[in-house]
Structure 1
């Protein structure tokens, strides 16, 4: 395979560029939903949040480094706001699962929003609070919000996995979508039951 061009990761950001780093389970499924949108300059799979330099995939998956699989998104700020990217992130992940995502289990798959500055932190915290207040989920919102640390690009095989392995990616994407759809249906039923119980209690009074 041709080597993936990592130059954008190492280049300085231009006047209308910024970065967002999200962890949401296996990074294979976190690239395509962002990269295919207009205004996204690059999406890089990698590892962050750990204590070892230049970790390998095997080390991260083995739980030896403290890293999580994540994506670094370089975006055009005239087209995307950081808040909009956070909203898209919520749609792709299960924010109630602190021990992994869907079939991906382990601390290296935990959901995290890595913030680069105070502005990103405030946006992420506010968005997380709004998600909790809205009551879309039955369980608490546990996605962590942590400061960024060194982001280590993953091996070439993992970059743009959806393009290199379309059949396997299609199955993974479908499984994630089915899980999230089922979760949302369960939540709607739960919310409907709560409303019915509340109405019944009010009628009794």
Structure 2
């Protein structure tokens, strides 16, 4: 009797655990769905290429109305780009930062203003010490309103400096792919390495040369 009775209790225990697991999974799915809906809400996205994406997160993260920044890749045809392939110039993508923001608290025009003051807009296929098309500067617009605003902001920069601006304006078109986890919030997770890279690359000195007191946004 001990064998069958013991197995029966085991079966019932196993069934209970499976049922509990199913209920927890359903509950987690509901929570995730609700979180996604909340995230979608009235939030919008902006995507900018400004050279090394590590350096493009901080200026946006500090802005009131910015919900999140995500380092990633955009502008290339490859469906699943990796950092190794992107930096080798094999995918056509640029390093970008995608900004999730609340338009009721901060405008796209303000994001554009900060973007320009964190790049060197006069060089082709490079930013500071990084060279290659993967480090080009670009504004990837998500809709016609962003395109019009981006074109107007570019015209302002051209007029201000009276010289050619090499920053591209192109449709994001679903080409954005988040970068690997170790790239996200790199300046927070690896502050010493980040500061050393930024200094040795000459980013801040060049931004100050171009933008003066406005450098960095």
1:111 corresponds to which of 137, 145, 163:
137
Asked if residue 93 in structure 1 is aligned to residue 138 in structure 2, the reply is: no
Structure 1 residue 80, shift from structure 2 partner: 0.8
The count of aligned residue pairs is 175
Residue number among 168, 175, 182 corresponding to 2:209 in the alignment? 182
Q: Which residue of 2 aligns with 1:102?
A: 128
Aligned position for 2:99: 73
Q: Mind listing any 5+ residue stretches in structure 1 that lack a counterpart?
A: 1-6, 186-205
Query: 1-side partners of 2:102 and 2:113: how far apart?
Result: 16
Q: 1:140 aligns with which of 153, 164, 169?
A: 164
Larger relative helix fraction: 2
Q: Provide the rounded CA distance (Å) in 2 between the counterparts of 1:14 and 1:158.
A: 23
Q: Which runs of 4+ in 1 moved over 3 A?
A: 10-15
Does the alignment pair 1:37 with 2:63? Answer: yes
CA–CA distance in structure 2, aligned partners of residues 184 and 35 of structure 1? 20
Post-superposition shift, 1:184? Answer: 4.8
CA contact 1:132–1:140 (8 Å) conserved in 2:
yes
Deviation at 1:97, TM superposition (A): 1.1
Equivalent in the alignment of 2:150: 124
Q: Which runs of 5+ in 2 are unaligned?
A: 1-31, 213-217
Q: Matched residues in 1 for 2:150 and 2:207: separation? A: 21
In 1, distance between residues paired with 2:36 and 2:124?
33
Separation in structure 1 between the aligned mates of residue 64 and residue 143 of structure 2, nearest angstrom: 25
TM-score (norm: length of structure 1): 0.80
The two structures have a TM-score, normalised by structure 2, of: 0.76
Provide the aligned C-alpha RMSD in A.
Answer: 1.8
8 A contact 1:29–1:172 mirrored in 2? no
Structure 2 residue aligned with 1:155? 180
Q: Is 2:105 the partner of 1:51?
A: no
